[in-house]
């Protein structure tokens, strides 16, 4: 996955996700979140449970929750 980058007009948000324990988990969460409209990069870190998302505009928390749920994990909330 691409590393978070700050481009003009972008929004960076960090979310806490429970249940990630390995690189495969990181990839599953990153893959689902990358499909959300406007998302330019996602970086998931299993050891901290944090997922950093860079998008063109703020994301709806319910959309983020649905994507994380689709990957098989639980969104705890914003970090």
Domains (ranges, CATH) in the chain? 11-78 (3.30.70.100)
Report the pLDDT value the prediction gives residue 60, as an integer from 0 to 100. Answer: 96
Report the pLDDT value the prediction gives residue 12, as an integer from 0 to 100. Answer: 97
Q: Could you write out the three-class secondary structure of 3-71?
A: CCCCCCCCEEEEEEEECCCCHHHHHHHHHHHHCCCCEEEEEEECCCCEEEEEECCCCCHHHHHHHHHHC
pLDDT tens figures, 60-78: 999 999 999 999 999 999 9
Report the pLDDT value the prediction gives residue 9, as an integer from 0 to 100. Answer: 79
Report the pLDDT value the prediction gives residue 2, as an integer from 0 to 100. Answer: 47
Low-confidence residues in the chain, pLDDT < 70: 1-8
What is this structure's pTM?
0.88
């Amino acid at each position: 996955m691409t590393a978070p980058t700050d481009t003009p007009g972008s929004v960076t948000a960090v979310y806490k996700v429970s249940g990630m324990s390995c690189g495969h988990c990181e990839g599953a969460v990153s893959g689902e979140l990358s499909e959300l409209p406007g998302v330019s990069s996602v970086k998931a870190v299993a050891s901290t449970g944090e997922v950093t998302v860079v998008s063109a505009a703020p994301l709806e928390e319910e959309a983020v929750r649905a994507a994380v749920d689709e990957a098989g994990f639980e969104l705890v909330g914003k970090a």
